[in-house]
A and B are shown apart, each in its own frame.
Chain A
Amino acid sequence: MKILLKGIEFDDNVSVAGYQSRGGYESFRKALSMSPDSVVDEVKKSGLRGRGGAGFPTGIKWSFFIPRKTEKPIYLIINADESEPGTFKDRLIMERNPHLLLEGILCGAWALQAQKTFIYIRGEYAYPYTVMKQAIKECYEKGLLGQNILGSGFSHDVIIHRGAGAYICGEETALMNSLEGKKGQPRLKPPFPAGYGLYGMPTNINNVETICNIPFIVQNGGDAYFKIGVEKSSGTKLISASGHIKKPGIYEVEMGYPLLDFINNECGGMLEGRKIKCIIPGGSSTPVMTGEELVGVNLDYESMRLAGSSLGCAGFMVLDDTADMVEVLLNLTKFYAHESCGQCTPCREGGHWIEKIVQRIADGQGRPEDIALIQSVCGQIAGHTICAFGDTMVMPYQSILKKFASEFEAKISLNPNSLVAKSKRLAVLQENQL
């Protein structure tokens, strides 16, 4: 089943002609023949959930705009600031299937009656940016964007903006601040973007992958989409698989696909002679799952949640038994400490504090009480910050520390200055004397 990766094998897919030769922009023509509200209804029926990580139902999000009492323009933002470590699915869509994204935008814009769409693309995505830019240009030339699109009377503009490389700008309100030319720092909520978003206007924000599902839903109806996947997680999901597997890459699977099957079939299994140690399933900000925990887990939001982790944005990082979990944690803490926006106290100070402690443990200077200290600092960060950054940051930390505590203890016990090491040396000495 290919919804999102349809046609990516053809090089001419990046042109309007090539895309249209495979049925492109038919969905948008169909959407124009429907009323905006009925498009929203189809999306609601489809059970599509946001692919950015939180999994909020897209139809419900869109229905906030149904009353349309406001005189203000409605803006649509496409979050293409894909910076989550281990996630690279949107990049493929934008590189190989840019018109699918644009068609999704047009359908969504029609449904929301939005005036403008802003695509906020990650700064480092230079090539996808040029592809998207070219695609937008071509759409304007072919009359698929701009004034009076396809003679329907509907006008829409798409503006693509490159970020400057901050992870936090993937957070919706920070993204808006960044688009407005301010420092990319999350805003306090309320007000929520649906009422007061970009430039103070009602704004809807969707992930690239989410919006790319819309053409299929419009074309085949919400019910057809709902039948794909499992009950509470419908449709397909792009999974960016990386790590110690034979075939890393991006795979489109139906929701509810067994996780171990995915690793063994799609990914070609673990590297020769290696054993699976753990996976970080949803991009780096989700709790890790050990090899034993993977049995019987399916790739959908509910199943992953029951297993104690989250599907997130499906940035699969598979680690084998050669991975040093102290180094893994150090890597993660360095990333999050570097990317904290510095606005609110717990995340700004706590993130760095943890990084320094983990660095010390990795350097062989750990103390036995450090593990409890990190856990305690994690507890001080989670739930006390403006945005979800603090919460998502501590989730992998806490789970790694809990599930691989023995590795940390082993590393700490090697500290020549630690009490454990001292007492061990003492024991050896006493034994020798006896």
Chain B
Amino acid sequence: MNEQNLDLITLTIDDLEVSVPKGTVIIEAAKQVHAKIPHYCYHKSLSIVGNCRMCQVEVEGAPKLMIACHTQVQPGMKVRTHQTSDKVREAQASTLEMILINHPLDCTVCDQAGHCKLQDYHFEYNAQPSRFIETKVSKVKAEPLGPTVMLDAERCIMCTRCIRFCDEVTKTSELGMVNRGDRSMISINPGKELNNPFSGNVVDLCPVGALTHKQWRFNTRIWYTKQVDTICTGCSTGCSVKLAIRDNQVVHVKSRPNSATKQDWLCDEGRYGFHRFIPKHHLKDASVKQQVVSIADALNNLEALKSNDTAFLLAPDLFLEDFYLVKKFRESFAPEAQVAVAYRGRSLTELEKILISPDYAANFRSAQYLGLISDNPESDYQTLLNKIYNQEIKNLVLVGDRAIDLQDLNSEIVSAITKLSLSVAIIADADSALRTTCNVVLPSRSVYQKAGLMISNKLRLQYSERLLDFDFSTHPHWRYFEMLASKFGKSITLAKEDREMTLALLAEINADPSDLNTNLRLVRKQGLEIAFQ
């Protein structure tokens, strides 16, 4: 939307003047003066129902308080939020009291405790003891809504965000509201269950602890975890996520609304499927023909790579840094060498298409960006696989655990690789079939053990954070290429660790190298749009 073409409306919020496009609701306009209006049911990506009554504001001339989520701005409107109006503060306190009268207050065992809007708002806007001494309404405490989500109806505050998500975003309408009055509760519609590919989002949307992930219920208190803003490496959509980590384990995955991409959701595969990126056993030692050797010794066996008969097969979830050094290495020592990324397309249902990209290749765009592979990565990959089958190449470097897609990793390809004169695997998973297949195996790190840049399907440069600890005997993939290059007598980077490498790369990509740290901060937070040359 081109904002310059829209009529701007000027109004005052808490005596501060703001200009916003016509049709904006007060709650959005208030963000411009940093007046955070508390709300439960409002969500900018869902329709407006105005049922929580938490966002009431005073509008001059209106007989009663208006809800900020539904009232559109008018020229000259004078709005007072809780910051300047006693009436609004009273209304908010009373709404909170009402919401809490039938709430079980089982914060001590509730997964939401610590990141619960009820707790936050109660402390901020009410903080009074309840005057309610009657018996609370009891409802179901643990009803499975589907394979992934559990409902605790007593904790529910009936904001209906989950219902609206299923009605409006996935359009699958699994959820509804049954009964009336204080007996009303969220329920699955008859004959359905909540099992759409985005079901986990309803838990993110739930402002309280009513909806929880089956998988992570009663798992950990949120304040014992480290929360990291990163991106999902499941497919090339590269959704923004927030991961909670405790004791070097991922314990919770949440979608992280990204204002730049206007994306608020996360698919269940990305949310619950992160385990596939974490090897059960990490590879710690280098080996040559299954014999454990030091990394330096292993590298001594790789002189043959300086040949145009070498081929590089790269995993699609490597970082831009890795691809970059592969490119540099190839330019210096094997300019005619074959390169391919293990890209396999996938078919998606109409519903999945709203978010998921048709691949499992999180970062194939980076390889394209660097000119390593063509516009048709799948045929590049198949061509190279055929060359391996036909023994048309002599040396093969497999970079990353998924350098050969798991669907293709069968006994035929394994025997074809063993027949090659030299095969090198740079992998992190000790259980990988490549470990016993390749002549030389170098220990590396899984995608969560290193940090680096990724380019999404929509050409957005993003940053994947290091989440888990790594073994110091390992190196990130790109580092091996520098070690080899210096061994061959021509260093290709000065960087020694991830961050240095990232900054060096950013300096090359970006027009303004003077402010790399700011750039990196932006890339980490919301990503940066880039253009292919």
CA distance A377 to B318 in the complex (A): 60
Interface centre among A343, A349, A350, A357 (most CB of B within 10 A): A349
**Contact among B52, B70, B98, B158 with A188 in the assembled complex (CB-CB below 8 Å):** B70
A352 touches B137 (CB 8 A): yes
Residue of A nearest to B97 (CB): A380
| CB neighbours of B179 from chain A (8 A) | 342
What residues on B are CB-neighbors of A350 within 8 Å? Answer: 98
A407 to chain B, nearest CB (A): 21
Tell me if B224 is interfacial: C-beta within 8 Å of chain A: no
Q: Considering the chains assembled together, what is the distance between the CA atoms of A351 and B97 in angstroms?
A: 13
Name which residue of chain B comes closest to A182, CB basis.
B176
Chain B CB within 8 A of A286 CB: no
Q: How far is the CB of A193 from chain B (nearest CB, A)?
A: 17
Residues of B contacting A345 with CB < 8 Å? 51-54, 95, 98-99, 157-158
Query: How many chain-B residues does the 8 Å CB contact rule pick out?
Result: 35
* Inter-chain contact B98/A342, CB cutoff 8 Å: no
Complex alpha-carbon distance, A337 and B56, angstroms? 23
A166-B180, A360-B134 are contacts. A342–B158 as well, Cβ < 8 Å?
A: yes
A356 close to B (CB within 8 Å): yes
A383 within 8 A of B: yes
**In the complex with contacts A348-B158, A353-B134, A384-B91, A339-B180 CB distance below 8 A:** yes
Q: How many residues of A contact B (CB 8 A)?
A: 29
- The interface centre, meaning the residue of A166, A188, A337, A386 with most chain B CB atoms within 10 A of its CB, is A188
Q: Are A348 and B182 in contact (CB under 8 A)?
A: yes
Q: Which of B48, B49, B101, B177 has a CB less than 8 Å from the CB of A349?
A: B101
Known: A342-B179, A344-B50, A360-B134. A384 touches B157 (CB 8 A): no
- Determine if A342 and B184 form an interchain contact, defined as CB atoms under 8 angstroms apart: yes
Residues of B contacting A168 with CB < 8 Å? Answer: 180
Q: Which residues of A contact B134 (CB under 8 A)?
A: 353, 356-357, 360
A34 at the interface (CB under 8 A from B): no
A346 and B134 alpha carbons, distance in the complex (Å): 17
A343 near B98 with CB under 8 A, answer no
A183 at the interface (CB under 8 A from B): yes
A341 contact from B70, B97, B98, B180, Cβ within 8 A: B180
Q: Which residues on B sit within 8 Å (CB–CB) of A348?
A: 98, 158, 181-182, 184
Known: A349-B99, A357-B134. A385 touches B181 (CB 8 A): no
B71 to chain A, nearest CB (A): 9
Complex contacts, A340 vs chain B, CB 8 Å: 180-182
Which among A337, A341, A343, A385 has the highest number of chain B CB atoms within 10 Å?
A343
A360-B134, A385-B53 given. 6 additional CB < 8 A pairs? A337-B181, A339-B181, A349-B99, A353-B98, A353-B132, A357-B134
A-B contacts, 7 of them at CB < 8 A, read: A337-B181, A338-B181, A345-B98, A345-B99, A348-B184, A383-B63, A386-B50
Closest 10 CB pairs of A and B: A342-B184, A356-B134, A380-B94, A383-B64, A349-B98, A340-B181, A344-B51, A352-B182, A342-B180, A343-B51
